[in-house]
Amino acid sequence: MNIKTLCLGILSFGDASGYEIKKQLEGPFRHFYDASFGSIYPALGKLTGENLVDCTELAQQGRPDKKVYSITPKGRLDLVQQLLERPSQDRIRSDFLVIMLFAELLPAAHIDELVGQRIEDYRSSLDELCSQGKDDTASAAFVHGFGCAVYGAALRYLEDNRHRIVGESLRAQAEVAE
């Protein structure tokens, strides 16, 4: 999923400026994808060049003109085409899991702290996702629910298995000390 398609999709919900798109990407769905200004602005420029979006400049006092983008009919067609393509496999990107794989090389106390932090992270992400229950659309609710299900499972797993990895790590280090 590239930024261009993402911007096009967001614009299919309504007109927005680059800045506003970024704000939307900082909402609850930031857990699934995000983008920086450095990618959004060039993406909007390219989309405009391809006539997939229109740009209206609004003069503002003391600020750069606000550029409001609207998706064009051609843009809607293109979006649908992009969305019909086979999605790539879902994947978990986790530095944490890589570190865990090499846990035996690290102090047990450090591992314990890491797991504790990750538990906190998942708990707060989950709280945030679950707390704002009502969604604009059924689609958003579906994606939302998916996030809650997965984060909840990760959280429960970490809580239930924390002792295992830390215990094992301590034991391995006791052996080395002998």
Q: Give, in degrees to the nearest 5, the angle at Cα 124 between 159 and 24.
A: 140
Distance CA(149)–CA(14), nearest Å, equals 29
Bridge partners, residue 67, by sequence = 57
Q: Maximum distance among all alpha carbons in the chain?
A: 74
Please measure the distance between the N-terminal and C-terminal CA atoms of the chain and give it in whole angstroms.
52
Report, in Å, the least distance between residue 132 CB and a copy of itself: 16
3-class SS at 70?
strand
Residue 61 contact partner, candidates DNA, a copy of itself, none, CB within 5 to 8 A by sort of partner: DNA
Residue closer to DNA by CB (options 34, 120) is 34
Contacting positions for DNA (CB under 7 A): 1-4, 17-20, 23, 34-39, 41-45, 60-67
Contacting positions for a copy of itself (CB under 8 A): 1, 5-6, 9, 12, 29, 31-33, 76, 79-80, 83-84, 87-106, 110, 114, 118, 121-122, 137-143, 145-147, 149-150, 152-154, 156-158, 161, 164-165, 168-169, 172
